[in-house]
A = this chain, B = another copy of it.
Amino acid sequence: MTIHKTAIVSPKAEIGSGVTIGPFTTIHDNVRIGDNTVVEGYCELGVANNLSAGMPLVIREGSHIRSHSVFYEGSSFGARLVTGHRVTVREKTEAGENLQIGTLSDIQGHCRIGDYVRFHSNVHIGQKSVVGNYVWIFPYVVLTNDPHPPSNILIGATIEDFAVIATMSVVLPGARVAKGCLIGAHSCVKGETEEDSLYIGSPAARVCATSKIKLRDGSGAAYPWRRHFTRGYPDELVRLWTESESVDTPQR
């Protein structure tokens, strides 16, 4: 355990073995940090708030939280969380393993996130969002939740497994981005979508099956992306993704 002398760490926090805590970081009381995790400088973990119902902030083993990030108590992450800088995560965020959260991203809490999800920089995940597994969300995407703002009715967006949302798109309240969909940049998604389809525009309209999109290097279909993009995924998944015939490739 290496705690910088300027860090302020509550004696009530549970800190695992091999944890590193950087300069000027504050760890509040209600925090559990798993083994071999790195928390860089200027972070604040376990911000108390009355919506957490006393639940701790749980960061599991092998995680890496970069500088200037703020996490509230009452959220829980699977192993190997990795963040960029200046990330904000509010209470009641329940996330799976190997989540990546890019610089400046803002997770508003009260949401569920699956395994191996990758949020790029400056993503905004509204309350009540439900994000599946192996999802990619690119910069300046916002998942919204209030169908007639301001109101007391919050209806989160749902992003299914393997879906990809490109830069500066909005997902409207209650919209469902179906399994394997690609939402083009600068789009606004409403209502239901079909699996493995490309949607573009504001409001977003279906263009074609994603399997029609070709890789620019001439090496074949760009989707399902898991057939060719495997960086950072475990070997057993990669084998399943690249060898299996079970991957759907609709051809409409």
Contacts and interface: CB of A to CB of B under 8 A. Distances in A.
Given A104-B106, A185-B188, A166 B151 contact: no
A155 B26 CA distance: 40
Given A88-B103, A106-B121, A186-B170, A215 B142 contact: no
A219 to B, nearest CB: 9
Contacts of A151: 215, 222, 225, 228-229
A163 to B, nearest CB: 11
Interface in A13-56: 23-24, 26, 41-42, 44, 47
Interface in A145-171: 147-153, 155, 164, 166-168, 170
Contacts of A136: 149-150
A202 B204 CA distance: 12
A140 interface: yes
B103 A148 contact: no
Nearest to A213: B148
Main secondary structure of the interface of A (DSSP, over half): loop
A67 interface: yes
A176 interface: no
A216 B155 contact: yes
A150 B164 contact: yes
A128 interface: no
10 contacts: A23-B26, A42-B68, A121-B124, A136-B149, A144-B167, A149-B166, A152-B228, A168-B168, A170-B185, A172-B185
